[in-house]
Amino acid sequence: MATTVHEPPRIQEPRRPGGSVPAGNGGMRNLVPANGNLRAVQEYAPAPADAGIWVVLAAISMSFAALTSALVVRKGGAADWRHLTLPSILYLNTILLIASSVTMEISRRRVASFMGNREGHSGSASRWLYATLLLGLAFVAGQYVAWGQLRAQGVFLATNPSSSFFYVITAAHALHVLGGLGGLLRVIRKFTNRSLRRSTLIATSRYWHFMDVLWIYLLLLLWAKL
Amino acid sequence: MHDMSAHAQAGHHAPTSFIRKYVFSLDHKVIGKQYYGLAFLAACVGMVLSWVMRLHLGWTNLAIPGLHFLSSTGAPGDVMTPEYYLQLMTMHGTIMVFFVLTTAPFAAFGNFFLPIQVGAEDMPFPRFNMMSFWVTFVAFCVLVASFFAGDGPSLAGWTQYAPLSAVGSVAGPGQGLGEVLWASSIAIFCVGQLLGSLNFITTTLNMRTRGMSLWRLPLSSWAWFITSIMGLTAFAVLMPACILLILDHVAGTSFFVPSNLVINDQLQPHSGGSTLLWQHLFWFFGHPEVYIAIVPAMGIVSHILMPNLRRPLLSHRVLVYSMGAIAVLSYMVYGHHMFVSGMNPISSIAFSFPTLVITIPATIIVLIWLGSLYGSKLRINSASLFSLGMISMFITGGISGFFLAQPSLDIMLHATYFVVGHFHFVMAVSAMFGIFAGTYFWFPKMYGRMMNETLGKIHFILTFIGAYCIFMPFHYLGLAANVRRYQAFTDDYLQPLIPVHKFITVAALLTGAAQLVFVYNLIHSRFWGEKAPDNPWQATSLEWATTSPPPFDNFGGQLPVVYHDAYQYGIEGATDDYVMQNSPEQIEAVRDEA
């Protein structure tokens, strides 16, 4: 019960976008200047997208965890389960998606260093972004081909629980990749008209890498369980 | 007070067009009011449905004038068919749980007050926030559309147990198109709540103003934060479950329908699905959902009690930890809904243990409330009365929970009205009382006008007595083995219980009619109520540090700076007996835990 005066935390130096200090989740509480000017807040506060993207990824993880457990429960003790051989084009698609993650990382670094006025020019950064976009599109197209191959073999959504899960899980993942492609288009547009924020770029690249890791997990799951 | 020099509000322009201002608004305050309006509409629909059901239960084959307008096949000659009773029951449960108990205390009040309480000018993703409401609105429309589509809404109950929910129209009226509409509506609803949760979590983590450490957040903000984490994980599981259910319907898959199932002499063309799988997926969402309804009410009630007690609760931190513990445990207890499902008895024991454990944080919260109330001079107003009412309902409902947590007792009581009484008290009515308390408390801030206190107190007394008259006899009925989900009680042993049902029906109608006092108060106060001062309750948190109603950017161009814990009441030596969070006044710390 000592006498205490509640001083607000000391104001840290504002972190400027593009600076060398990585944007964290410090929040506005440290960043409102003493006079409380809102404009300054908007300019300097680390963007909520930094934290928000983890929230999004957590929700997506929960959804796929639910599908995983559904698969495991449905397979356990089911007499009607027939093994499904994965179409081999999936492995090519996997390579495409991993490659797109690599190009995403290169473009993220190029764009970041361009925004930080350190080196590089916008053209090379844009090219890597477009390369990522193309590889992502190629992945989705490849998944579509895989579904076509299964259909040609007479394996449809309702043919067997294994095929049901195959279509549901790959379609859910492909939809999320399409969402990521939308985000990527937005990044390209904003980068072209010089309104891209660092947090948007980081959030998009985290999402993209997550799609990559998620796909590898799903591929292993489908390979081991179907 | 901090200096209010004229800084430009250049950053955040208020919209001028009607559409942007009132319809597709990006302002969290407008979105909060829209959610409140939706919850209000849904509550009216849900309540009318309960009246119709209660009338039918009290007086079987009673003609309810006009019912055939709702469904000519479901209520030929205004008398509802047994199937139509189940359809109305399904809609009552779904509408109340999703569109009232989730939207009002969490989405409505949370949207309006979370950004203000943390000292932000808005939520970080206003477009997602707007989508969150409109997606929820579409979900409501899709659900209500099932009244008028095909042979009416689904009859599988709000829990939608498979295989009944998964085999299609052969299972009864409403199980074709109505069922698909139900599952679609809930999947859409999940999207809305996920977008909302994203905003709530990032608002709490990233948008707090200077000096607003996590421990200085008001308890209502803590409750919304914890609830949004539960919502994020729970709705992310329910959505894929709904999609699988839809696929079983429209695409002929067999996720939830077992082999060799014969319904109405027809062998179903499905094979090997797991009916328990649906229950696992559903209750993994469903149990946290109970706490999604009640935790915001706990936060709201705690937040309201303190300005009326004029002293802090016994412990701010323990209350937050307890709400957090409830959130974590809520994922481990869901199996207690499945004790009679044919699940392995060892699983039952495994789920029973955390179910009993989760009563500990709930009890701690109740004891904090009661201990804080003990010996206090509580200011009696509508908001504090409804807070006391919420505590009362929660205790009553919680006590019957102890019995149901034990599989051996639950097997006897599960399919009876005992469970109906339990969950209506612990989740539905207590959350409703939280909503009422929040309404009386925050109405002046939301609309800039005071509500009528006399009418509020009348509303409380009638609703409090009415709620006990309706739901307390349910426990008695359950102990007398009155089965639930039946549309009529024709067995001999149930005949002596019919008068109890009639009593409940009359109580439900009267309590429902008493809500007209509230509706009148709401409408009258909105337009003709006394003008509200900025801080009518002499409260400390940031929503009272701005005007009533708050300006577009909440604080008139200047974010507040926070110097104190959320609840500095009963401060000796302060100018008043309280110190607002944004007041730089230096005080001797009382019960300061930060």
pLDDT value at B19 more than 70:
yes
Mutation target among A29, A61, A155, A163 for the B interface, most CBs of B within 10 A: A29
Chain B residues with CB-CB distance to A80 below 8 A? 254, 259, 271-272
**∠ Cα B346 B351 B356 (to 5°):** 125
Q: Is there a contact between B210 and A11 if contact means CB atoms under 8 Å apart? A: yes
pLDDT at A46: 62
Q: Does residue A116 sit in the same domain as residue A33? A: no
Confidence (pLDDT) at A118: 59
Residue A45 forms contact with B (CB below 8 Å): yes
C-alpha distances out from residue A25 to A32, A53, A143, Å: 14, 12, 36
- B273 CB neighbours in chain A (<8 A) are 74, 161
A61 class by beta-carbon count within 10 Å (0-12 exposed, 13-18 middle, 19+ buried):
middle
Scanning every residue of chain A, which has its alpha carbon at the shortest distance from the alpha carbon of B257? A74
Q: Do residues A71 and A37 share a domain?
A: no
Q: What is the mean pLDDT of chain B?
A: 92
Rounded to the nearest 10 degrees, what angle do helices A198-225 and A89-115 cross at? 160
Chain A residues within an 8 Å CB radius of B581: none
Which residue on chain A is closest to B208 by alpha carbon? A29
**Distance from C-alpha of B214 to C-alpha of B211, rounded to nearest angstrom:** 9
Report whether B243 contacts B140 (CB < 8 A). Answer: no
CATH class of the domain defined by B29-579: mainly alpha
What's the token pair of residue A145?
């081909």
Chain B CB within 8 Å of residue A175 CB: no
A residues 134..163 contacting B (CB < 8 A) = 157-158, 161
A62 touches chain B (CB under 8 A): yes
Say if residue A206 is in the same domain as residue A148. Answer: yes
The residue-averaged pLDDT of A191-220 equals 92
In a shared domain, residues A167 and A219 = yes
Provide, rounded to the nearest whole percent, the portion of chain B with pLDDT above 90: 77
Q: Are the C-beta atoms of residues B418 and B475 closer than 8 Å to each other?
A: yes
Written as one letter, the residue type at B197 is S
* Confidence (pLDDT) at B6: 33
pLDDT at B264: 85
Q: What is the pLDDT of residue B159?
A: 94
3 state DSSP class of B180: helix
CB spacing of A79 vs B203 below 8 angstroms: no
Position A24 confidence tier, pLDDT thresholds 50, 70, 90 = very low
Least CB–CB distance from B240: residue in A67, A74, A158: A67
Number of compact structural domains in chain A = 2
Is the model's pLDDT at A134 over the cut of 50? Answer: yes
Chain A interface, best mutation among B12, B205, B279, B583, by max A CB count within 10 A: B205
Mean of pLDDT values over B242-263: 93
**E-state strands within chain A:** none
Q: What is the mean pLDDT of residues B214-219?
A: 93
Specify the range with the lowest mean pLDDT, choosing from A109-123, B178-192, B556-570: A109-123
Distance CA B152, CA B182 (A): 11
The reply to whether A188 and A201 lie within a common domain is yes
Asked if residues B358 and B295 have their Cβ atoms less than 8 Å apart, the reply is no
Percent of chain A residues past pLDDT 70, beyond the cut: 77
Residues 6+ apart with CB under 8 A from A91: none
A150 pLDDT above the threshold of 60 = yes
Chain A: residue whose CA lies nearest to B271: A80
> What is the spatial distance between Cα A158 and Cα A155, in angstroms, rounded to a whole number?
8
Can you give the pLDDT at residue B588? 59
* The pLDDT of residue B354 is above 60: yes
B229, closest residue in chain A (CA to CA): A55
Put simply, the answer to whether A158 touches B253 (Cβ < 8 Å) is yes
Alpha carbons B578 and B575: distance in angstroms, whole number: 8
Q: Which of B5, B198, B278 to probe by mutation at the A interface, max A CB count within 10 Å?
A: B198
Q: What is the pLDDT of residues A66-109, one digit of tens each?
A: 999 999 999 987 888 999 999 999 999 999 999 999 999 999 99
Q: Where are the beta strands (DSSP E) in B94-240?
A: none
Which residues of chain A neighbour B4 with C-beta distances below 8 Å? Answer: none
For A24, name the nearest residue in chain B, comparing CA atoms only.
Answer: B206
Q: Is the dihedral of CA B192, B196, B197, B199 positive or negative?
A: positive
Q: Which amino acid is at B353?
A: F
| A5 close contact with B: CB closer than 8 A | yes
What pLDDT score does B143 carry? 97
Mean pLDDT, rounded, for A40-53 = 66
- Shortest Cα–Cα distance, B434 to chain A (Å): 28
* Same-domain check for residues A42 and A53: no
Across the range B498-506, mean pLDDT stands at 97
State yes or no: pLDDT of A29 exceeds 60.
no
Residues 6+ apart with CB under 8 A from B482: B416, B417, B489, B494, B497
Flag whether pLDDT at B100 surpasses 80. Answer: yes
Distance from CA of B575 to the nearest CA of A (A): 16
C-alpha span between B96 and B158 (Å, rounded): 10
Is B67 within 8 Å of B75 (Cβ atoms)?
Answer: yes
What are the backbone angles phi and psi of residue B24, rounded to the nearest 5°?
-95, 60
Q: Report CB contact under 8 Å: B210, A48.
A: no
- In this prediction, residue A44 carries a pLDDT of 46
Say if residue B3 is exposed, middle or buried (CB neighbours under 10 Å; 0-12, 13-18, 19+).
exposed
Average pLDDT over residues B3-17: 51
Residue A42: closest CA among chain B residues belongs to which residue?
B11
Q: What pLDDT is recorded for position A43? A: 39
- Report the DSSP beta bridge partners of residue B568: B579
Nearest to B281 by CA among B334, B224, B358: B334
For residue B139, the model assigns a pLDDT of 98
pLDDT per residue as tens digits for the range B402-447: 899 888 899 999 999 999 999 999 999 999 999 999 999 999 999 9
pLDDT > 80? residue A41: no
Query: CB–CB of A35 and B252 under 8 A?
Result: no
Is residue B15 pLDDT above 90, yes or no? no
**Distance, in angstroms, between B212 CA and closest chain A CA?**
6
User: In this structure, are A76 and A148 located in the same domain?
Assistant: yes
Contact (CB<8Å) A38/B121: yes
| pLDDT of B3 strictly over 60 | no
Task: Between B223 and B122, name the one with better pLDDT.
Answer: B223
CA angle A77, A80, A83 (to 5 degrees): 95
- Choice between A53 and B12, residue whose per-residue pLDDT is larger: A53
The three-state (H, E, C) secondary structure of B37-87, written as one string: HHHHHHHHHHHHHHHHHHHHHHCCCCCCCCHHHHCCCCCHHHCCCHHHHHH
User: What distance in Å separates the CA atoms of residue B577 and residue B570, rounded to the nearest whole number?
Assistant: 5
Tell whether A184 and A134 lie within a shared domain: yes
Torsion of CA B150, B153, B156, B157, to 10 degrees: 180
pLDDT at A5: 41
The pLDDT-based confidence of B160 (bands split at 50, 70, 90) is very high
Q: Is A39 on the interface with B (CB under 8 A)?
A: yes
Which of B347-361, B388-402, B431-445, B455-469 is predicted least confidently?
Answer: B347-361
Both tokens assigned to B407: 């599989």
Separation between Cα atoms, residue B335 and residue B276, nearest integer Å? 11
B44-99: per-residue pLDDT in tens?
999 999 999 999 999 988 999 999 999 889 999 999 999 999 999 999 999 999 99
Rounded to two decimals, the pTM is 0.91
pLDDT of residue A76: 87
Host domain of residue A217: 49-225
Give strand pairing partners of B266: B263
Residue of chain A minimizing CA distance to B260: A80
| Least confident interval from A202-211, B114-123, B269-278 | B269-278
Report the C-alpha gap between A200 and A35 in whole angstroms.
28
Kindly list the residues from chain A whose CB atom is less than 8 angstroms away from the CB atom of residue B251: 157-158
Contacts of B3 in chain A (CB under 8 A): 35
Subunit contact B273:A161, Cβ cutoff 8 A: yes
What is the pLDDT at residue A194?
A: 82
| Average confidence (pLDDT) over B496-502 | 96
Measured between CA atoms, how close is B117 to chain A, in angstroms?
13
Q: CB-side exposure of B589: number of CA atoms within 13 Å?
A: 15
- DSSP β-ladder status, B578-579 and B266-267: unpaired
**Does A40 contact chain B (CB < 8 Å)?**
no
Yes or no: say if B282 and B241 are a contact pair by the CB < 8 Å rule.
yes
What average pLDDT does the segment B264-289 reach? 91
**Residue ranges per domain, chain B?**
29-579
**Can you give the pLDDT at residue B93?**
97
- Tell if the CB–CB gap between B212 and A29 is shorter than 8 Å: yes
Chain B contact for A42, CB < 8 A?
yes
Query: Measured between beta carbons, which residues in chain B are less than 8 angstroms from residue A66?
Result: 236-237, 240-241, 281, 284
Q: Please tell me the distance from the alpha carbon of residue B451 to that of residue B214, in angstroms, as a whole number.
A: 32
How confident is residue B318, by pLDDT bands cut at 50, 70 and 90?
very high
**Mean pLDDT across B223-247:** 96
Q: Are A132 and A79 in contact (CB under 8 A)?
A: no
ipTM: 0.91
A95 and A74 in one domain?
yes
Q: Which of residues 72-91 of A touch B (CB under 8 A)?
A: 73-74, 78-81
CB pairs under 8 A between A and B: 183
Peptide bond into B163 cis (omega under 30): yes
**Which residues lie below 8 Å from residue A127, measured CB to CB, with a gap of 6+?**
none
Q: What are phi and psi of B531, to 5 degrees?
A: -60, 135
Q: Are residues A118 and A19 in the same domain?
A: no
Do the bridges between strand B568-569 and strand B266-267 make them parallel or antiparallel, or are there none, so unpaired?
unpaired
Q: How confident is the model at residue A18 (pLDDT cuts 50, 70, 90)?
A: very low
Q: Is A25–B206 a contact, with Cβ atoms under 8 angstroms apart?
A: yes
- Cα B292 to its chain centre, rounded Å, is 7
d(CA B389, CA A119): 65
Encode pLDDT of B532-553 as tens digits: 999 999 999 999 999 999 999 8
Encoded amino acid at B223, one letter:
A
Of residues A47 and A180, more confidently modeled: A180
Taking a C-beta distance cutoff of 8 angstroms, is the pair A180, A136 a contact? yes
Looking at chain A, which residue has its C-alpha nearest residue B128? A52
